[in-house]
Amino acid sequence: MRGSVVVASAEVDPVTLRLRDVGCIAVEEANLLKGVLGGKIYAVAVLTWGPVAKRQKDISMTLQEALAKAADEAFIVADESIVPGDPVTTASAIVAVLKKNNINPDIILAGEATIDGFSGQIAGRVAAKLGLPYISFASKLEVKDRKVVAERQLEDEVVTVEAPLPVVVSVTREINQPRPPTLLQIRRAARKPQHKLTVSELEGIVPPKKEIEELKVLTIKRKQIIIEGDTLEEIADKLLDALIKEGVLNI
């Protein structure tokens, strides 16, 4: 299925499973590139946080959101055996979906990092498994003459690189401003193909090597110190004394 664009996302929010930030940006960029490449947009996501049985409604919302924004067809791999996921498992699951459905896109887009682990490895590992060139952290994309020309904003310079199609590209927040779907797009999304897949339906998924031993809720207790004074100078002096006493300031 050449001429298509895949948005490969492992960064559905581990709490709400909604496409977030760079995931939405990748979908928006796919929509822009579709005008040049034609074909279809496939959204592929992997559930990296469970329990799966309690996430069915959220999984459906994720698929609906991707389809409403731009995707023509959406896939999500949701299986308790690969939760919690890791970069190796997630990348292998994305590749397994593409191979099972004979999807060979011109461009595979992904966010710059997964929202659950911020590893920044998913897109690169997908490229390696498929034997495709990889451009990371692209802040601008242009397709011409069967090549992708990308700008990468580094700390002190902007680097322009290019690669032949097909290619895998991870994008940053600077590449575009996602547009919210219209009411008509949301209604049409319900009629588009959406697929919920398990490990047993796919081949080549690498089992995760990490296990959850314990979950803890992070709690922050504030000291609730009230500083009072008759003048701003007096309040400022008391604040400085308190910060010095707590070790925040060292004077």
DSSP-assigned letters across all residues of 138-161: EEEEEEETTEEEEEEE-SS-EEEE
pLDDT at 117 over 70: no
**Intervals of CATH 3.40.50.620 along the chain:** 5-201
Band (pLDDT 50/70/90 cuts) for residue 98 is very high
CA dihedral 175, 44, 19, 170 (to 10 degrees): -30
pLDDT at 200 over 80: yes
Q: What is the pTM of this model?
A: 0.77
pLDDT at 23 over 70: no
Mean pLDDT, to the nearest integer, of 114-118? Answer: 62
- Say yes or no: domain 5-201 is CATH 3.40.50.620: yes
pLDDT at 89 over 50: yes
Return the minimum-mean-pLDDT range out of 18-22, 41-45, 217-221: 18-22
- Mean pLDDT, rounded, of the chain: 83
pLDDT at position 219 is: 82
Mean pLDDT, to the nearest integer, of 109-136? Answer: 83
Mean pLDDT, to the nearest integer, of 204-219? Answer: 81
Band (pLDDT 50/70/90 cuts) for residue 7 is low
